Amino acid sequence: MWVEDWAPAAACRKTEPDQLFVRGAEQNKAKLVCSGCPVRTECLAEALDNQIEWGVWGGMTERERRALLRRRPGASWRSVLEAAKNAESKAAV
């Protein structure tokens, strides 16, 4: 199920924002915050659809998100990720 108002449920909501906007190896630590987040997919879709350039969003760095955007320019990432999330949920049943 897709969560429209995802930010209040985010694992990072109590994290200092500066911890998610780091460079280099520190990004791996920031990505750990996202690892068990219940709204990771929604967060990633937000970053991709709005082409947010900085920080770790949905467990992905700027570089990782740019690579996805290059592979599927013009994609509605919400649609892509929502379909994948729904398919995963159905497969788990």
23 annotated ligand-binding residue: no
12 is in an annotated binding site: yes
Distance from the Cα of residue 71 to its chain's centroid: 17
42: annotated binding-site residue?
no
Considering only CA atoms, which of 49, 34, 40 is closest in space to residue 6? 40
Q: Tokens 């467990």 identify what position?
A: 59
43 is in an annotated binding site: yes
**Amino acid in position 71:** R
DSSP H stretches of helix in the chain: 26-34, 40-49, 62-71, 77-92
Query: Which positions make up the binding site?
Result: 12, 34, 37, 43
Query: Which positions make up the binding site for [4Fe-4S] cluster?
Result: 12, 34, 37, 43
